[in-house]
Structure 1
Amino acid sequence: MREPLWEIDRTLKAKGFRLSNPPSTYIGPVFPYGNKVIVEIEISDFSFSELPVVRLIDADELPVQHLAHVNTDDTICYTGQGGLPLDIYNPGGSILRVLEEAKETLERSFADGATAEYEAELASYWKGTTIYVALPSSETNAIFDSELIVFGIGEKQKRALVPTGKWKNAKTSSRQPTTTISFNSTLKHTPAFKSENLADFIDWIKRQPNGPAGLQEKIITSAADSKPVFVVSPNALIGWHPVFPPNIQLLKSASGVRKSFLRKQLVNSLSNVGLRKMTGLQLDLKQVVKRNLYGKTTLIEKKISMVGCGTIGGHLAKLLVQSGAGCEERFNIYDTDILRPGNLGRHVLGYSDLEQPKAIALAEHLGQFHPDVQIAPFHRNAVQDWSSIERSDLIIDATGDYNVATALNELRMNSKRSGDELAILHTWVFGNGIAAQSFLNLNDGLACYHCLKPIFGGSWRQSPAKDVKAPQQIAPANCGEAGYVPFSADAPTVAAALTLRAVLDWAEHQPGQRLRTVTLNHAEGNDVKWTSPKRSNSCGACNG
């Protein structure tokens, strides 16, 4: 590969750039819609693992008043959310692509485009201290009370805006009453937006269409009470603490000052009240879940019960919670066992949970994902609790235990609930980690779990094993621990991922192939095509 610096230097100078700060900072023109703009490009990493920085130097010739995507330090935010792949083997061409992206970014501010672009990134221009916002989205414009909480310990302390009284289990060290103003539509931009005083902020917020009633009154009252104010909208999560001038600070610290007098003095000093700004990052559970399933159906509001909190269930439960289980509806998890030392090699739980009931320990582990997750652990036999779990939308059998799976299958087949009302999904590791499998039963005329092995002692109908007669290896009991089926930790994690995909397909009302197999050990296993087996005439559950 040729020396990248020389190629970049030759390429930029050919475009009218000059070296301004050796070894690799250049100044030169770009031409958005033919208008000359002077920019500076700083290349600090020729592998492009860090992208070049482009700064706006002179934009006097641009026929626009406001420029979007230009930060306060004049750097141009030219990369989209998907990043910007650059070719290290063509450094000159890569730098030209960076300049083209910067030019196109400036062009988006033409023809009043800056307004839409600016509004889309409104919060990034506010430049406040970062906090988390865990407020549910509002369908109406409203003003309501909330709390700014501090949680965590020492240097790991964080702040979050939550509904009043929520996150009681988050081990908070303080709770400060806060006023939240909610808009259900995009906030509009005016030159007063980046103001540093309360008067300009009130002027800006009053200009928003369909603002809630009593807006100015509530803001001034909150400021008089030293309460933070936060604004929540689809395009911005921004707030502030009031910073009082000396005369107001003196009145607030004095005793016997009437609130009405203090408020009057505050109204007369609005332009002198500073704003200690905050910028919010979305932490509402629904938004966290929906982010990675953008446009897809989540598990939010689904009634899900999972039986088995072992090696598959532990990994699967985390994936389910990240997909919406436990959001707006309780996520029930069952297991009769406790965590033992022999479980640690494949389990999501660790040594601090030893001798604890798996369901209870796993619920605590899942609770660390988000304080609003609703997990109900049960250290008891789910089969004997059928009257409760039958009310679920989906039952997941993650035990990998043939007896439990058969018992749950029998109960499901005898249930009067239709497949649209109750689904059951089994998952297991086949043999000694040969494959991971999942099977969905909607009781809709296709096979049930027992149909997969209708004759006790017979073979599985869709076995992934090359030698279907090869016995499963069982590790012998040792030092007080029972025997177990040995397989590596990849098998249960694959089973969990395979099962999550089946769950999400079910949630989309597109269940697809009911029996799914991922073969892991190709020395002992065959690839098995995903299929929806028909019922077996020998199945006692279907034909009994």
Structure 2
Amino acid sequence: MNPESVDSIANVVAVLKNRGFNFERRSNDGWIVLKGLLTAAGEVHPVLFSFDPKFIEIPRVRLLKVPSSLLPIAPHIDGNGGLCYIANGTVTLDICDPVGQTLACLERAENILEKIINNELIEDLEEEFFAYWNFGTFCISDVAPQPTLVLAFSIDISGSTWTILSDNIDRTSRLLMLAGHKSKPKPIPVYHLKTSTKARPRTDSWPPNDVKSILAWQGKLDSNCRKKIESSLLTAAKLAPTLVLFVINSPLMKYAFSVDFSSFKKNQRKSKFIDARSIYPLPITPHAVIRVDSEYITTRNIPNRVSLADKRIAIVGCGTIGGFLAEQLAKMGAGTGKGHLMLIDDDIMMPQNMGRHRLGIPSLFMNKADALFIEIGMQSPGVHIVSLPKKAQQVDLTGMDLVIDATGEESLGHWLANKLSPNIPLLTVWIDGPGVAVRGLIKSKADDACFRCLKEYERQKQLTSIVEELPKVTAGAGCEGLYVPFPAYVSSHAANLGAEMVLDWVNGITMKNLRTRITDSKYTLATSDCSPTTHPGCPLCRT
């Protein structure tokens, strides 16, 4: 059956009619709207039931009359009576069974409504507040942890007034400029208030659109917070602002709203005592507080794990592995807080590099470390990066928390293993042969094998990456010189492995110090992840 056919729609309408639902109309977006009754908690409730004629999105349910027991605030019911009975993205609808899926949604809606009426889902209301805060624009929050001072600004974006919270307006302005917003931020007064009550929407009058309605709503939630808002507004009224921002820090989230004072009369401002009722008609705009600060961006996708914030990390080699790896480490917090990300490479970005490098045409003929510094700075303006267009042998690596060798140069790997203080962990990431495998080795303790130890093992046919003989393939000639060819995805694999090991390291996870990933299916893994100790024949560890 074609789920979008006229027959499918007719069948669903017919089945719903047997359940007491009658066709009303088609909505502006083409959905089929029917009117009927839901039975919940021993009572019937008139609703509009709308379904997608393509049967891709979940049907919508709107209560035509919200039960008095659920006023003024109830979970999963918005200000228009809309019933949230299934979270978007949590179910997969079967487009091959439109009748069955529609009836299942109807039954689910009845079940959820009954639980709401029986007060079984009251806590859900707090969790879903963000969806009900019908914001007009965003409040962009670019604030570092434990800021000394947070200022507020307004900015015109596509004809709308957005608000901004920042503890470093230069950094935030750069972020906005990189995002394509060149308007100059204008300072505005801001009041930061705290409430111990979790935010919930009203079901009888929502969303608030003026000071009176915002105060009435807050009064239902937290009378002390309401008093603070009103008192702050009366103070602000004397300062002759055009716009005032309020940021409410609730237990689950921050939400904000701005008050437009442009209609407030001058003679009212000059009064010794301002009647609170005079500010009640002032319009307000709800704002969704959207965090863009580095801590949020870098920790959101690694919950319950430590980021790389505050760590001093050096990457030696900004080539085919180091370019991808540096970007990943920045996204995991390297260079944020009190830490920095040091990029070391004396090489130039040439045309022959671009086929498997993170950098592209804009970086052509630039130093790789400097070019990567610019590229990551554009993607993550809050990251503190240091670029050093030098050889590793010319750089003082004292004080680093972690040094990463991403050059793939065996001799430099041996030099770093010998040069670094035993207290500085060294991670070496490289590609074996013409891209048959990628490997990572970290030495963080005295008895861990170093990179030279591994080469001693390999000479004895131990701890090799593949069972087969490692192929030797080269390409190139003339001025270009010989090189080892492998596709770009191999570079990404190596960087991914390096990032994985760095995240385990910073979280103190007991890990296998030597890891291998096969990248060419023609070959067989020889050594599973393990933790080799120093080789007795290693001249570096022996001394």
- TM-score bucket (shorter structure): 0.7 to 0.9
**Change over 3 Å in CA distance of 1:194–1:64 after alignment to 2:** closer
Are the counterparts in 2 of residues 298 and 507 from structure 1 also a CA contact under 8 Å?
yes
CA distance in 1, matches of 2:464, 2:533: 15
Q: Aligned residue for 1:293?
A: 302
Aligned CA distance change for structure 1 residues 41 and 467 (closer, same or farther; 3 Å): same
1:373 and 2:383 are equivalent in the alignment: yes
Structure 1 position 75, deviation (Å)? 3.0
User: 1:147 aligns to what?
Assistant: 152
Question: Aligned to 1:499, what secondary structure does the other structure show?
Answer: helix
User: Per-residue deviation at 1:100?
Assistant: 3.9
Give distance in 2, aligned partners of 1:158 and 1:344. Answer: 39
Q: Which residue of 1 aligns with 2:462?
A: 461
Cα distance in structure 2, aligned partners of 1:212 and 1:17: 43
Residue in 2 that maps onto 1:279 = 288
Q: How far apart in 1 are the matches of 2:128 and 2:485?
A: 52
Is the 1:300–1:327 Cα contact (8 Å) retained in structure 2? yes
AA paired with 1:219?
A: L
How far apart are 1:452 and its partner, in Å? Answer: 1.0
Q: How far does residue 117 in structure 1 lie from its aligned partner after superposition?
A: 3.2
Match of 1:270 among 262, 272, 279: 279
Q: Is the 8 A contact 2:330 2:380 kept in 1?
A: no
Task: Work out whether residues 244 and 272 of structure 1, in 8 Å CA contact, stay in contact via their aligned partners in 2.
Answer: no
Aligned pairs for 1:118-129 within 5 A? 118-129=125-136
| Distance (Å, rounded) in 2 between the aligned partners of 1:316 and 1:335 | 14
Distance 1:243 1:128, change over 3 A: farther
Could you tell me how far apart the structure 1 residues matched to 2:488 and 2:15 are? 52
Q: Which moves more between the two structures, 298-307 or 20-29?
A: 20-29
CA distance in 1, matches of 2:84, 2:404: 46
**Percent of aligned positions with the same letter in both sequences?**
25
Shift in Å at residue 5 of structure 1?
Answer: 3.7
C-alpha deviation, 1:280, in angstroms:
2.2
**In the alignment, is the contact (CA less than 8 A) between 1:434 and 1:525 conserved in 2?**
no
On the 8 A contact 2:51/2:59 being kept in 1, the answer is yes
How do residues 108-507 of structure 1 correspond to structure 2 at under 5 angstroms?
A: 109-110=116-117, 116-136=123-143, 145-148=150-153, 150=155, 160-163=164-167, 165-167=169-171, 168-170=173-175, 171=177, 172-178=182-188, 179-183=190-194, 185-189=196-200, 194-202=207-215, 208=222, 216-223=230-237, 224-233=240-249, 234-245=252-263, 248-249=264-265, 251=266, 261=270, 264=273, 267=276, 269-328=278-337, 329-386=339-396, 389-412=397-420, 415-417=421-423, 422-454=424-456, 458=459, 461-468=462-469, 470-471=471-472, 473-478=473-478, 480-507=479-506
Distance 1:423 1:186, change over 3 A: farther
Q: Deviations over 1:186-223 (max 9, x none)?
A: 54448598432224545655774776997654433445
Please state whether the residue corresponding to 2:456 is helix, strand or coil.
coil
Q: CA deviation at 1:110?
A: 3.9
| Aligned residue number for residue 254 of structure 1 | none
The 8 Å contact of residues 338 and 356 in structure 1, kept in 2 or not, is answered as yes
Aligned equivalents of 1:238 and 1:533: distance in 2? 54
CA distance change for structure 1 residues 344 and 209 in 2, over 3 Å: closer, same or farther?
A: farther
Residue by residue over 1:457-492, the C-alpha shift from the partner in whole angstroms, topping out at 9 and shown as x without a partner, is 947633234432532x222244x4343221001101
**2 CA distance for matches of 1:303 and 1:460?**
36
3-state SS, counterpart of residue 37 of structure 1: strand
* SS of residue paired to 1:490: helix
Give the whole-Å Cα distance in 2 for the aligned partners of 1:356 and 1:94. 58
One-letter code aligned to 1:341: P
When residues 17 and 311 of structure 1 are mapped into structure 2, their CA distance, relative to the original with a 3 A threshold, is same
Deviation at 1:537, TM superposition (A): 1.6
Q: Deviations over 1:312-354 (max 9, x none)?
A: 1111122112111122121222211121111111111110111
Report the CA distance shift for 1:492/1:32 in structure 2 as closer, same or farther (over 3 A): farther
Distance in 2 between residues matched to 1:278 and 1:122, nearest whole Å:
13
Tell me the secondary structure at the aligned position of residue 541 of structure 1: helix
Q: Distance in 2 between matches of 1:212 and 1:450?
A: 67
State how many pairs are aligned. Answer: 520
Gaps of 5+ in 1: 252-256
Q: What does the per-residue CA deviation read over 1:288-307, in whole Å, with 9 as the maximum and x for residues that have no partner?
A: 22221122222222222222
TM-score (norm: length of structure 1)? 0.83
Report deviation, 1:392.
2.1
The aligned amino acid for 1:397 is: D
Once the two structures are superposed, residues 341-388 of structure 1 have per-residue CA deviations (whole angstroms, 9 ceiling, x without a partner) of 1111111111011111211211221122333222222212233323xx
Contact 1:135 1:162 survives alignment (8 Å):
yes
Whole-Å separation in 2 of the counterparts to 1:158 and 1:61: 37
The answer to whether the 8 Å contact 1:150/1:159 transfers is yes
* Separation in structure 2 between the aligned mates of residue 78 and residue 263 of structure 1, nearest angstrom: 52
Give the 3-state SS of the residue equivalent to 1:320 in structure 2: helix
- Shift of the 451–35 alpha-carbon distance from structure 1 to 2, 3 Å rule, reads farther
Name the counterpart of 1:522: 521
Change (3 A) 1:69 1:438: same
Per the alignment, residue 24 of structure 2 pairs with 20
Three-state SS of the structure 2 residue aligned to 1:454 is helix
C-alpha contact (below 8 Å) 2:132/2:201 kept by paired residues: no
Deviates more, 1:191-200 or 1:311-320: 191-200
Determine if the alignment matches structure 1 residue 106 to structure 2 residue 106.
Answer: no
Structure 2 residues without counterparts, runs of 5 or longer:
none
Structure 1 residues 104-134: Cα deviation after superposition (integer angstroms, max 9, x where no partner): 4434534556764333333433322232432
**Separation in structure 2 between the aligned mates of residue 184 and residue 62 of structure 1, nearest angstrom:** 26
Who is 2:104 aligned against?
Answer: 97
Q: Secondary structure at the match of 1:174?
A: coil
Q: Which moved more, 1:369-378 or 1:80-89?
A: 80-89
Counterpart amino acid of 1:330?
A: H
How far off its partner does 1:451 sit?
Answer: 1.2
**RMSD (Å), alpha carbons:** 3.5
